[in-house]
């Protein structure tokens, strides 16, 4: 179970960072993305990163 939580946590952190960067206009890739420079995606990405941190914390607590 801890391995699954770690994988989910890392994936959520990476995806959240990408979404936050795209929402803030820092990552303009792919050029055809509807998420570019849309601040709502920065908030959604930050929330997903928080869930990733929570999953990693729970995985480490279970050891």
pLDDT per residue as tens digits for the range 30-51: 999 999 999 999 999 999 999 9
For the chain, give the percent of residues with pLDDT over 70.
98
Q: Considering its fold, how many domains does the chain have in total?
A: 1
Statement: the pTM of the whole predicted model exceeds 0.75: yes
Phi, psi angles (nearest 5°) of residue 8: -65, -45
Q: Which domain holds residue 25?
A: 2-62
Is residue 52 within 8 Å of residue 13, measured between CB atoms? yes
Helix (H, G, I), strand (E, B) or coil at 10: helix
Q: How far is residue 58's CA from residue 46's CA, in Å, rounded to a whole number?
A: 18
């Amino acid at each position: 179970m801890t391995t699954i939580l770690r994988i989910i946590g890392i994936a959520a952190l990476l995806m959240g960072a990408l979404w936050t960067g795209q929402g803030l206009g820092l990552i303009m890739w792919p050029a055809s993305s509807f998420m570019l420079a849309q601040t709502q995606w920065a908030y959604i990405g930050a929330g997903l990163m928080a869930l990733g941190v929570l999953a990693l914390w729970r995985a480490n607590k279970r050891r």
